[in-house]
Amino acid sequence: MMTKKEAEKRIKKLSKEIDRHRYLYHVLDDPGISDEVYDSLMQELVELEKKYPELRSSTSPSQRIGGEVLDKFEKVRHRNRQWSFDDVFDFEGLKKWEEKTLRLWRKRQATSDKREKSLSHVPGNLSLEYCCELKIDGLKIVLTYEKGKLVRAATRGDGIVGENVTANIKTIRSIPLELNEEIDLTAVGEIWLGKKELERINKERRKKGEPEFANTRNAAAGSIRQLDTRIAASRNLDSFIYDIDYLERKTQNAKRKTFEKGLSIPESQIGELHLLKNLGFKVNRHYKLCNNVEEIEEYYKYWAGKRDKEGYEIDGIVIKINSIKIQEALGYTGKSPRWGIAYKFPAERTTTRIEDINVQIGRTGALTPVAHLKPVRVAGSLVSRATLHNEDEIKRLDIRIGDTVVIQKAGDVIPEVVKVVKNLRVGNEKKFRMPKKCPICGGEVKREKIGDLRKKRNSQISNLNSQLSSAHYCVNPKCFAIEIQKMIHFVSKKGFNIDGLGEKIVEQLVQEGLISNIADIFELEKGDLEPLERFAEKSADNLVKSIEESKKVSLQKLIFSLGIRYIGEETSFLIVNAIGKEIYKIKNLKDVIREFPKITEEKWEEIDGIGGKAAESLVKWFSSEENLNLLRKMDDLGVKITVEERKEKSSQLEGKTFVITGTLPNFTRDEIKDMIRKAGGKISSSVSRNTDYLIAGEDPGSKYDKAKDFGIEILNKNDFLKLLQ
């Protein structure tokens, strides 16, 4: 029988041995023992810790197994802001970045004086060394160690505040729970899932009838955000750590260059990678020191051709100036380091066949041709459809049913056909023509010029010039497809927000004859729903309750939900913002029914931001007795509107125009918009010289670049919140 003292000694030895083999296997990829032997050592440790729980430490290897179920993820503030790199997509872009960086470095050197000791040993010439690393397509993680022990792991979040995911990160065996030095450290890296592991997980999900993960990044992100740590543990996640965000040097002697155990304090990015490896982290070994952009281009081309050979997804390379002193001197812009850039690989392309071309009809009656493809995986997703935009685009590319085509998908952009491989035609391909009659209702189809339908996208997606195009519309206002889309729009989140009334349910209710217009939705009762497929007693109860709760809605959401052509979210707000002036005093639906039909096109156009087409569309909609009857029926069924009184007092945002881009964690885009409107500001969907501010979140895209070109002030989330104070 083992005594407690003996058990303590045994637990320490087991922990040390297990961690040594963990490091050999998961970091160095050099297993020293079989899985069976490793598992038996772990089992002995777990049993001893169960018997003597007071001897279990927070860094015990047993803490990686998982089993804790969390209530939620807590928000945590990062010690240092987490930046994201700007992107370039070609060699010309890389050269421009280097030229800009060199100009800034020259300026920094010119303005430095003898008091700036920090730059005294930095090279004075205008050539720079670069550390090039692979850009792993995973999830950024921030690891905090105190006295060498892992105390917190957090997601990037908005760069300032992330989520505490420590329990799940502990299940990743390549991440050390205890470092080789007793130091305070914040390290940054990437959590990723291997390609083979994704195949294994998706195979299991198929067997269970669960949806598959589209790509390794989605699977990794979904795994890290599981409240049940056992799920994260089962996914076999991995890591690469690449940056030191904070480092306590553990000495008062400024000249000292080492830690207690002799490890060197880094003065370069490559030195940081060496230190991270020596501390026990897994570091991607494929980094390289490059002396100029030509060497960087060679490294980029090598990995662009070899990216599929590795067991993890790579979407580009990251280039950092190697000297940490120069990094510190160059600093940061509002969103990214000046001393680094991400050089992204081209958007993935592949070939497939167009099996058919069908037409979709939207709520405005617009007919959009859609290519039905032989399913193919591109950019990590299985693609079976691609938009063809309009008839002019089909003619420009000479797309035919049966063609072999090149399709392209980048990020969340809808897949598109970019080229036809005409040499593979066999002669039986069929030309496509837009229908002269609506394929749903048989009504007349009219062609209208719509201006710049397809605009130039960023260089990674398309080099097409803007061009005058046309669209086709079904002119039958009673078209079944249009009615369906109108109802889907009506119940959407930005409209009445009726939870549980999705696209398929709307279609089912229309096909069963239970609803034929938007007002009918508010007549639905539990007894109507229960006999239908997909509806049990509880789901019927929930939908009826959701419909009842939606009956109180803001006037802005009501106007938006009606689906009036040219009247979107912002125009709806402009209309509501005009209330309180002249005849636009609206308090309930009866006021809308009485007053809106009186408003002429000229009066509508007096509202700042409402143009001729929108004014014409408003007059047409509110002149229709049929539409007014829908509003009367909604009023009879208890639908009520709320109108927030307009504050006349001035605000520092009064009249200022904002554009929002990127992801804003902790706030929805609608919440940001509401804050702007309540403070008197206006919102635009596109950047122009009339834009006052751009609010930029994570992954901001081309709007950010355009705002920089125009000299528009760019705000992060915190900058914006300060404006409101």
The number of C-alpha atoms within 13 Å of 256 and in the hemisphere containing its C-beta is 12
CA pair distance 576, 554, nearest whole angstrom: 9
Q: Positive or negative CA dihedral for 164, 170, 173, 179? A: positive
Single-letter amino acid code for the residue at 381: S
Question: Other CB atoms closer than 10 Å to residue 57's CB: what's the count?
Answer: 15
CA pair distance 16, 36, nearest whole angstrom: 18
The number of C-alpha atoms within 13 Å of 101 and in the hemisphere containing its C-beta is 28
Cβ distance 490 to 518 under 8 Å?
A: yes
Q: What is the DSSP string of 308-367?
A: GGSSS-EEEEEEEESBHHHHHHH-B-SSSBTTEEEEEPPPEEEEEEEEEEEEEE-TT-EE
Contacts of 34 (CB under 8 A, 6+ apart): none
- Stated as kind and residue range, the H or E segment containing 191 is strand 185-192
Instruction: For residue 165, give the 3-state DSSP assignment.
Output: coil
CA pair distance 501, 412, nearest whole angstrom: 25
Contacts of 722 (CB under 8 A, 6+ apart): none
Nearest to 642 by CA among 551, 527, 536, 511: 551
CA 423 to chain centre: 38
Single-letter amino acid code for the residue at 153: A
- Stated as kind and residue range, the H or E segment containing 431 is strand 430-431
117 is catalytic: no
Residues facing 135 on adjacent strands: 316
Residues facing 179 on adjacent strands: none
Nearest to 493 by CA among 669, 360, 627, 362: 669
Structure tokens at 315: 């979407």
Nearest to 135 by CA among 85, 92, 98, 174: 85
Eight-state DSSP code of residue 157 = T
Q: Which of 4, 75, 135, 140 is catalytic?
A: 135
**Residue 286 backbone dihedrals phi, psi, to 5 degrees:** -90, 30
Active centre residues (catalytic): 135
